[in-house]
Chains A and B, each alone.
Chain A
Amino acid sequence: MAARRPESYMGRPRVVITGLGAVSPLGLSAAAMWEGLVQGRCGISRITAFDPTGFTCRVAGQAPDYKIADFIPKTSRKAAKLMSRDIELAVIAADQAIRESGLVTRGIDPEHVTIRPERAAVNLGAGLISCDLVELAPAVAASTRDGRFDIHRWGSEGIALVSPLWLLKYLPNMLACHVSIIHDLQGPSNSITCGEVSGHLAVAEAKQILDRGDADVSVAGGAEAKVNPLVMLTQCLLNRAVCGYEDHPEAACRPFDAQAKGSVFGEGAGVLVLENADTARDRKAKVLAEIAGVGHSCSIHPRYQSLEPDGRGVRIAIEQALADAGIGPEDLDLVIPHGTGIPEDDLAEARGIEAALGCAATTVPVWPTKGLLSNTGAASGSLDLIAMVCAIRNGLIPAAKNCDQRAQGCGLNVVTRAVRARLRYGLCCSYTYGGQTAAIILGNAEC
C-alpha cells in the first residue's frame, strides 16, 4: 500500500537525523546495540555494580566498562572529575553521534569547526541523578555521636569533608551543560526531566526548536544510570522491578508476555543529531531518517506510578503524532512501544496502541526492546528511536525476546521472529510512571 506523502509540512523545514550515538547494556556504540538486538543478545545480568543481596531485584542492564578519558578531548579531561555516571554516558553517546553526523565541533577538532555554535542546540533528558553514597559516606560517618547520625556534627564538621563541587555532579541539567561545553554548542539548551519518557520528549522538543528556526542542529536524547542502590530501591519498593531470575537473567524482562512480572532497570544513553533538512542537504550529510511527526499527552491515574487501564494518554499521543505526520495508522510499518514488562502497564499500553491504530493494530509489527536492553529510564526513548532508525535503514525488524505467549487481553502483533521488510514509517511511543506520554514517528529518508 503506497504511503500518502504529507500534503503539507505547514511551512516548516523538515527535520532529519544525521548521527546516532549510544551506550547501552549491549555495548558502547549504536552499532553494537543494533548488532546485539539483531543477534538476540541480552544485556541483562546479575548486578555487579554493587552487592544486591539485600534487594528484591538483583538483575539489571549494565553497560560495559569504559574509560571516560577515551571519549573526551584532552582539554576537557579535568571536567571528567565533575561527571556523575549519568553525565559520562551522555558525553560518550553525544561524542559518537556528532562524529557520525560529520559535523565538526570544537570537541571533535577545534581547528576545523563547521558548525555555528549559537545555532547549535542541546536537549538532553535526564533522570533524578542519585548521588554516590560511597563518596558521601566518610563525611556522614564523621558526623556521628554514639553511633548515630548527628546533624549538629554534620553541620559543624561533616559537610566540610564533602568536595566543594559535589553538587555539580548531581544536577540533572549538567548532562546538557557538559556536552555543550565540550562541543561549544551555544544555542537553546534544555534538560527534560520526565522520567522514562524523557528521551522521547527531549527529541520532540529538539524537533520543535528546529521547526521554529531557533537552531539549525540539535544534539538530543537522554541518559540515565539506573543501576545504583538508591534508584533500585525506589523501583523495588514500588514493585516495578522483577524479583528472581538471578540464574537466568536473560529471561527476566518479558514485555507483553503472559509470564511477565516486572521490569528490569538499566543504564544507558542515546543521542541523536537532529538537523534542518535543508542544511543537511546543503552539506551533503548522510540522512539516516526523518522525524515525520510528534505527539504528546498525559495518562491520569490516582495510583500515579501506573498507566491508566485504557491507555488513553498513549492513544492521544499516537493520534497526535499521526496527524502531525499527515499519515494514517495503516501507513505504519513498525511500532516500538515502551513495553516495560510490568503486566498492568503493558496491557494498558497495548489498549492505548490498539485504540489509536484501529484495524491496523492486529497487523503492524510491534517490537519491544526492553527484553534485551532493559529499562534505561530517561535513555530508553532515545535508544528506541536509535533502534527504529537502524531497523528502517536495514529493512529488518529483529525478533522481540521473552514474549513466548502474549498476555491475555493483549492484541498486539509482537514479532517473535525477525522480519525483513521495507519500512517507510515507524512509531516509537512511550510513557512514564507519573503519566506523561509521547509518540514520535520516524520516516524512511529514502522514500
Chain B
Amino acid sequence: MTGIGIVCPLGHDVETVWQAVLAGRSGAANTTIFDASTHPTQFDSEVKGYDVARYIRHPELHRHANRGCQFALGAAVQACRQAGIDVETDTVHDGIDRTRMGIYLGSGEGSVDNDIFFAAIVAGWDVHAGRMDWRRWAKVVFGQNSAMQGLEQEPHMPAAHIAMLTSARGPVRSCLTACAASTQAIGEAMMLIRHGHADVMISGGCHSMIHPMGVMGFSRLTALSTRNDSPPTASRPFSASRNGFVIGEGAGVLILESLDSARRRGAKVLAEVIGYGSSADAFRVTDMHDEGRGPIQAIRAALKDADLSPCDIDYINAHGTSTVENDSIETLAIRTVFGGQATKPPVSSIKSTMGHLIGAAGAAELITCVLAIRDGVIPPTANLTDQDPKLDLDYVPLKPRKANLRIIMKESFGFGGQNNVVIIRRFDGHG
C-alpha cells in the first residue's frame, strides 16, 4: 500500500478520523439527509460539511456524481497525493504506465430523487383497482427525472469517475457484495497485481445508502439499532444491549502497488497486503450460518494465502456490526479458527464509532488497520460498557491499547453470506 484516503462521518482526512477512532468519538446523530423523525430509527452516521470541490480542480467533470461517489473522489485524491500519483491531467510524470494501473471499488448505488420517486407512485397508483397506471406514472417521471441522476445511480459509476480523475486504463471493476464489497475489492485488486495484470490498483469502496428506501429496507429487516434516545451509544458491538447497526456513509481508497513499482518510483510503503480469502455461506439469505462456516472458511483461506498460522495474527479488525447475530457468529468463527491458542488475538470494531458504511465499510476500516500498524496502537471498541457474557474474546473496550502490531486481519461479512478477509503486514523494508 502506498496511499490511503478517507471521507467518513468521523472526518475528511486520515488523521482526523484516526484521532476520533482512538478517542471513541461517535459520528452518530439524528438523521439530516432526509426527514426520519417518525421512522423506527431516527439517527445515522453522516458525513458532515464535505465539499468535493475542495479536492478536485475540475468539478465540472464530476458534477452529477452521486453522494457516495463524491466521497470517493476526495478519498482518491488524498490517496493519490500520498502515493505520488498524478490526478486530473493527461500528461503524467509519476512513472506509472496507465495501462498497468487499474481500479477496483466495492461501490454502492446512488439514490433516486425521492420527491419525484414517491410522487410518481402516488400519481400512478390506482388504489381502487389495485394496479399501477403506467401512463400517469410516466408523465411525472419523464417530466421531472434527471437522466444524469439515473446514470449516476449505477454502482459502477464511481469507478468511472476515478478513471476520469486518474486516467486509469488498466482493469477497472466494481463489485457490490453488500457489506463485504470493499474488502473484496481490495483482495481482488491485490490478486490482479500479484498475478501480473496490473502494477497499481486504486482500490477501496464508497457508499451512501442513507436514503428512504435503503434505510427502510434495513429497518424492516430489524437490522438497525432503534436507540433513538442516544445515537452516539447505539453502535455497541459485542455488548449485551446491542440491538442493531448504525447506518453510515463514506469512502475509503487505498493505493495498492507491486513492490517493484513502488521501489522504482520511490513511493513510501505504508503496509503490505499479504493474504486474501473469499467464501460463501451457501446457507440462507436471511441468516448467517449458525456455526460461522463461511467466515471460518474465508479466514482460513486468507491465512493459507498469506502462508500464516492463526498464531501469527496480532489483531483482528472485526466486521462487528452491533447486531445480535453478527457479533455472536463472528465471535464463534474466531474462536473456532483461533481455538487452539491460549491467548486469542484482540478484536475490535471500528463500526462502534464510524457506523456501518455498507459497501465502503471494509476499506474505511482497513485504513484504520494501516494506522494501527504505523502507530503500534489497537483502536478500541467504543461503547463497550456491558460486554455480552456469552462473548468472551478480548474486544479492547473503550480505550486504545499500545501493542507491537505486525500482522492484522480484516474481516467483512455481507448480507446473503458472502465473506471476505484481507491480511496486512507491517512493511519492514525487505522482500
* A contacts, CB < 8 Å to B: 10, 50-56, 79, 82, 117-118, 122, 126-128, 131, 133-134, 136-138, 140-141, 143-144, 147-149, 151-156, 159, 162-168, 170-174, 176-178, 180-181, 183-195, 201, 205, 208, 211-212, 214, 229, 233-234, 236-239, 296-298, 300, 302, 304-305, 312-313, 316, 320, 432-437
Kindly state whether residue B82 has any CB partner on chain A within 8 Å. no
A166 touches B217 (CB 8 A): yes
Chain A residues with CB under 8 Å of B103's CB are 298
Report chain B residues within 8 Å CB of A178.
285
Q: Is residue B135 contacting chain A, with contact meaning CB distance below 8 A? A: yes
- Interface membership of B170, Cβ < 8 A: yes
Which residues of the partner chain B approach A212 to less than 8 Å between Cβ atoms?
191, 195
Q: How far is the CA of A180 from the CA of B218 in the complex (A)?
A: 23
B-side contacts of A79, CB under 8 Å = 285
Q: Which of A118, A140, A312, A435 contacts B122 (CB 8 A)?
A: A140
Q: Would you mind naming 23 contact pairs between A and B with Cβ atoms under 8 Å apart?
A: A51-B134, A133-B121, A137-B124, A138-B130, A140-B118, A149-B122, A151-B38, A155-B35, A168-B415, A173-B177, A174-B285, A188-B278, A188-B279, A189-B417, A194-B173, A214-B278, A229-B134, A237-B145, A238-B151, A239-B147, A316-B99, A436-B160, A437-B172
The residue from A56, A126, A187, A305 contacting B151, defined by CB atoms under 8 A apart: A305
- New A-B pairs, 7, CB < 8 Å, besides A164-B220, A171-B178, A180-B417: A10-B196, A53-B134, A55-B138, A117-B282, A168-B415, A189-B280, A297-B171
A69 to B214, CA, bound (A): 29
Q: Which of B293-301, B316-324, B328-336, B395-403 contacts A (4 or more CB under 8 A)?
A: B293-301
B156 & A205 in contact (Cβ 8 Å cutoff): no
For the residues of B in contact with A, the DSSP-based class is: mixed
For A118, give its contact among B107, B177, B191, B279 (CB under 8 Å): B279
Q: Enumerate the 6 nearest inter-chain pairs by beta-carbon distance, A residue then B residue, closest first.
A: A54-B138, A167-B217, A234-B150, A177-B416, A155-B38, A237-B147
Q: A178 vs B122: C-alpha distance in the bound complex, in angstroms?
A: 33
B20 in contact (CB, < 8 A): no
Contact of B134 among A52, A138, A173, A192 (CB under 8 A): A52
**Residues of the A chain whose Cβ atoms lie less than 8 Å from the Cβ of B125:** 137-138, 140-141
Q: Which residue of B lies closest to A305 (CB)?
A: B151
Q: Give A233 to B138 CA distance when docked, in angstroms.
A: 8
Which chain B positions have C-beta within 8 A of A133? Answer: 121, 124, 132, 137
Among B161-169, B252-260, B349-357, which stretch is in contact with chain A? B161-169
**Does B153 sit at the interface, judged by CB under 8 A?**
yes
- A187 vs B297: C-alpha distance when bound (angstroms): 8
A117 to B, closest residue via Cβ: B282
B418 touching A229, Cβ below 8 Å: no
CB B63 to nearest CB in A, in angstroms, measures 10
Known contacts A54-B142, A177-B418, A194-B173; A208/B195 CB under 8 A: yes
Write out the residue numbers on chain B whose beta carbons fall within 8 Å of the beta carbon of A143.
118
Beta-carbon contact of B168 and A298 below 8 Å: yes
Check if B393 is an interface residue, CB within 8 A of chain A. no
**Contact partners of B145 in chain A: CB under 8 A:** 233, 237
Q: A173-B416, A178-B285 are in contact. Are A208 and B109 (CB under 8 A)?
A: no
Query: Is A297 a contact of B172 with CB atoms below 8 Å?
Result: yes
- Cβ 8 A contact of A131, one of B138, B169, B213: B213
Distance between Cα atoms of A152 and B36 in the complex (Å): 8
Given contacts A152-B38, A177-B285, A208-B191, contact A298 B172 (CB under 8 A): yes
Q: Which residues of the other chain, A, contact B220 by a CB distance below 8 angstroms?
A: 159, 162-167
Most buried by A among B139, B173, B197: B173
Q: Evaluate contact between A193 and B156: CB separation under 8 angstroms.
A: yes
CA distance A126 to B175 in the complex (A): 9
Q: Are B173 and A191 in contact (CB under 8 A)?
A: no
Known A171-B178, A190-B177; contact A208-B279, beta-carbon cutoff 8 A? no
Q: Is the CB of A176 within 8 A of B418?
A: yes
**Nearest-Cβ distance from residue A402 to partner chain B, whole angstroms:** 26
**Is B278 touching A165 in the complex (CB atoms < 8 A)?**
no
Asked if B418 contacts A181 (CB within 8 A), the reply is no
Give Cα A234 to B102, complex, Å: 28
Which one, A134, A144, A164, A181, contacts B132 given CB within 8 A?
A: A134
Which of A118, A191, A195 sits near B297, CB closer than 8 Å?
Answer: A118
